[in-house]
Every structure is written in structure tokens, then in C-alpha cells.
Amino acid sequence: MSGSYEQTIIVGNVGNSDELRYTQSDTAVHSFSVAVTTRWRDNSTNEQREKTQWYKVSCWRGLAEITAKYVTKGMSVMVVGTASTSAYLDKDGNPQASLEVTAKDVQFLTRADGGNGSGESGSSYDPASGKIVDDVPF
């Protein structure tokens, strides 16, 4: 196989959303966090278990401007992009790591209030046109 390909898909709830900012070359950047919770039943104890993993999502250019406008804490989103990890020391000097996704696409699955009616629900950003597409067929 020649070449490589990477794609990461996460579906979860938005934690916090940073302000839209611009680089020195006037490129829009917007970051927010997404919590992805996995649930399973422990075979030995038959107890319900869960683990939440937090991802930092970075959006660039037109996608950054759209997510800055519509992404709010609590809403459910699907993010498609590429993942990376970074290591750092916290304020106490302890080693930490974070998972980061550079988004290529963000779909708004529900509003922050949990609704899934009109508005941003089922919407997706179309990078070719630079617009939100509301006519998702599901």
C-alpha cells in the first residue's frame, strides 16, 4: 500500500468552548473540549462501569468561525479529523498527556438543551461552500 491515511471520529458532549481567535497571519482558530463516555458491564461484578475521555478539538479557518458561532457547552457533536497526543507538566510539575483532534468536519447532533429539532441539529459544515448544510438525510 502506498501512502498513509488517518481519520479519527469522536461523538460526545461539548465541555467548554474557547473564544474565536486569529493567528498573526489572520487565520481563524476555535478550540473546544469534547467528553466521550464509554459504558460497559463488568463481567466479574456485573456492575455498570463508565470511563470518560476528554479531547481538545481545534478548528481552523471557515470551520473555526462556524463552530465559534454554534458550539455551546452540553451539545452533542460528531468530530471528524486527525488525532495527536501531547505531553506536558501540570502546575504541580506532574507529567500529563492530552488528546487533541484537528477537525476536518463537525456535525451538530443536538443543541445544548438536548433538543434535536430544528436549528443546528443534524447540521454539518461544508468546507467547499463554507456554509452549514441543514438538509442531512437522517
- Check which CATH number belongs to the domain holding 56 and give it: 2.40.50.140
3 located within any domain:
no
Three-state SS for 110?
Answer: coil
Domain total in the chain? 1
Q: How far apart are CA 59 and CA 64, in angstroms?
A: 5
**Would you place residue 116 in the very low, low, confident or very high pLDDT band (cuts 50, 70, 90)?**
low
Residue 91 domain flag:
yes
* 134: region left, alpha or beta (phi > 0 left; psi from -120 to 50 alpha): alpha
Q: Which domain holds residue 68?
A: 8-39+48-133
39-76 pLDDT, tens digit each: 999 888 889 999 999 999 999 999 999 999 999 999 99
Choose the weakest-confidence range: 17-26, 65-74, 86-95, 117-126: 117-126
Average confidence score pLDDT of the chain: 84
Task: Give 63 or 117, the one with higher predicted confidence.
Answer: 63
Flag whether 93 is in a domain. Answer: yes
98: in domain: yes
Share of the chain above pLDDT 70, in %: 80
- Give which of 119, 127, 28, 121 is closest to 78, Cα–Cα: 121
